[in-house]
Amino acid sequence: MNLAFEQETSILTVNFVHKVNDAGSHFIFDITVNLNQEQIIEQKTAKQDSTGGGSFVFKIVDAKPGDVIKATVKCNKFGTKSAELKI
């Protein structure tokens, strides 16, 4: 999992690898984003972009240098992955 934050636009991009046979029945169904340990975003999904994984894009206007962003994705079958990024 990879996080990228563009300070000029306040855009967070979360890219994840999650290899499956059918992205419609086995997929990342939930993502949460924390800013400095406080949950600021939760999004549910019904499928992922492709059988190899996907990405999410969010605007986080309150993020500033020194802050820590943590994203966590959850599979609808089993498992969780997280990544952190210090701005």
DSSP letter, residue 49? S
CATH number, span 2-86? 2.60.40.10
- Measured distance CA(20)–CA(33) in Å, rounded: 23
Kindly compute the dihedral angle of the four CA atoms of residues 84, 55, 79, 38, in this order, to the nearest 10 degrees.
40
Query: Do 84 and 69 contact (CB within 8 A), yes or no?
Result: yes
Contacting residues for 79 by C-beta, under 8 A, at least 6 apart: none
pLDDT in tens, 41-60: 999 999 999 999 999 999 99
Q: Per-domain residue ranges for the chain?
A: 2-86
Question: What integer pLDDT is reported at residue 51 of this predicted model?
Answer: 95
What pLDDT score was predicted for residue 19? 93
Query: What DSSP string describes 19-54?
Result: --S-TTTS-EEEEEEEETTEEEEEEE-SS-SBTTEE
- Percent pLDDT > 90 in the chain is 98
pTM to 2 decimals?
Answer: 0.92
**Token pair in block for residue 65:** 């240098």
